[in-house]
């Protein structure tokens, strides 16, 4: 049985009236979804205040942290991602970019369904945008987040019934030694993990468009099963 349950009010530190409308609407929905006394809500508050990466002695985060997670006491689906991109860092809304559009298409859900915390909890391996490398690509997820917060976040969500593991970092965490040697092989072996209610996906970034063309099984075989399972658990 999965030890997952995630609930986040995605609490943003700015007051609601100062936020752009989409951010205010998203924040309001999350904050109204669970009572303040819930363990998930308290944990969300603690995560929002985390500054471990900024204060790290080695390679500190070069910008102010903005943890982006959604912990839900009712969602049956957990999206275990990699780390927010720059646009997500700026807006505070998970998958609020082109990658999110592609992911929603893979799941066959609307934007409203996706951002409803009754449907989806979201817990990336790194909570903040890690910055860019010398080639302009996103750096890997920060290493401070998972050891400090991940198991505690999963522990407050016993109702989760499906984990969608997006990218190699999330797959190695949730699958452990069962993960294959590469992301491609792990995703290709998706049937091995379905019995445990874990479905591995590549990252929905545009950079993986060539990967999708080289691996037609993903759209032909995996996506129909993914959509079937998602439709079972969302409202």
* Whole-prediction pTM: 0.84
Strand positions, DSSP E, the chain: 77-80, 120-122, 162-166, 198-201
Looking at residue 15, its pLDDT comes to 32
The per-residue pLDDT for range 157-176, each reduced to its tens digit, is 999 999 999 999 999 999 99
pLDDT at 28 over 90: no
Give the pLDDT band of residue 12 (cuts 50, 70, 90). very low
pLDDT at 8 over 60: no
Distance CA 120, CA 73 (A): 10
CA atoms within 13 A on the CB side of 161: 12
| Number of domains the chain contains | 1
Chain-wide mean pLDDT for the chain? Answer: 88
| Bridge partners of residue 119, in order along the sequence | none
Looking at residue 11, its pLDDT comes to 35
% of residues, the chain, pLDDT over 90: 81
Looking at residue 29, its pLDDT comes to 56
Looking at residue 16, its pLDDT comes to 34
Evaluated on CA atoms 168, 172, 174, 179, the torsion sign reads positive
CA distances in angstroms from 203 to 70, 135, 167, 168, 182, listed in the order given: 19, 18, 5, 8, 13
- 1: in domain: no
- 192: in domain: yes
pLDDT at 101 over 90: yes
Looking at residue 10, its pLDDT comes to 35
pLDDT at 218 over 90: yes
Q: Is 23 left (phi over 0), alpha (psi -120 to 50) or beta?
A: alpha
What is the arrangement of strands in the sheet containing 162-166, beginning at the earlier edge strand? 120-122, 77-80, 162-166, 198-201
Looking at residue 25, its pLDDT comes to 55
Looking at residue 235, its pLDDT comes to 74
pLDDT at 138 over 50: yes
- 10: in domain: no
pLDDT at 151 over 70: yes
- 7: in domain: no
Can you give the residue range of the structural domain that contains 221?
A: 16-233
- 2: in domain: no
- 4: in domain: no
- Residue 190: partners with Cβ closer than 8 Å, 6 or more residues away: 199, 200, 222, 225
Quote the crossing angle between the two packed helices 223-233 and 98-107, to the nearest 10°. 80
| CATH number, domain containing residue 154 | 3.40.470.10
pLDDT, mean of residues 117-131: 97
pLDDT at 3 over 50: no
Looking at residue 14, its pLDDT comes to 30
The per-residue pLDDT for range 71-88, each reduced to its tens digit, is 999 999 999 999 999 999
- Residue 198: partners with Cβ closer than 8 Å, 6 or more residues away: 2, 162, 163, 165, 174, 175
% of residues, the chain, pLDDT over 70: 85
Residue of 6 and 130 predicted with greater confidence: 130
- Residue 218: partners with Cβ closer than 8 Å, 6 or more residues away: 187, 202, 212
Neighbours of 113 (CB within 10 A): 16
């Amino acid at each position: 049985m999965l030890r997952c349950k995630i609930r986040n009010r995605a609490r943003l530190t700015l007051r609601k009236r100062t936020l752009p409308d989409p951010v205010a609407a998203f924040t309001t929905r999350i904050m109204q979804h669970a009572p303040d006394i819930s363990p998930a809500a308290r944990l969300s508050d603690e995560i929002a205040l985390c500054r471990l990466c900024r204060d790290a002695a080695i390679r500190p985060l070069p910008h102010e942290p903005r943890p982006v997670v959604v912990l839900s006491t009712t969602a049956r689906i957990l999206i275990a991602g990699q780390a927010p991109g720059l646009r997500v860092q700026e807006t505070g809304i998970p998958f609020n970019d082109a990658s999110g559009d592609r992911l929603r298409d893979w799941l066959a859900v609307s934007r409203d369904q996706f951002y409803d915390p009754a449907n989806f909890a979201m817990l990336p391996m790194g909570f903040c945008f890690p910055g860019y490398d010398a080639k302009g690509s996103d750096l890997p997820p920060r290493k401070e987040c998972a050891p400090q917060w991940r198991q505690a976040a999963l522990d407050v969500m016993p109702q989760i019934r499906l984990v969608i593991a997006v990218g190699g970092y999330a797959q190695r965490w949730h699958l452990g030694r069962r993960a294959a040697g590469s992301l491609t092989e792990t995703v290709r072996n998706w049937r091995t993990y379905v019995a445990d209610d874990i479905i591995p996906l590549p990252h929905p970034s545009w950079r993986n468009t060539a990967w999708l063309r080289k691996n037609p099984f993903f759209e032909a075989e995996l996506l129909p099963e993914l959509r079937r399972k998602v439709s079972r658990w969302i409202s």
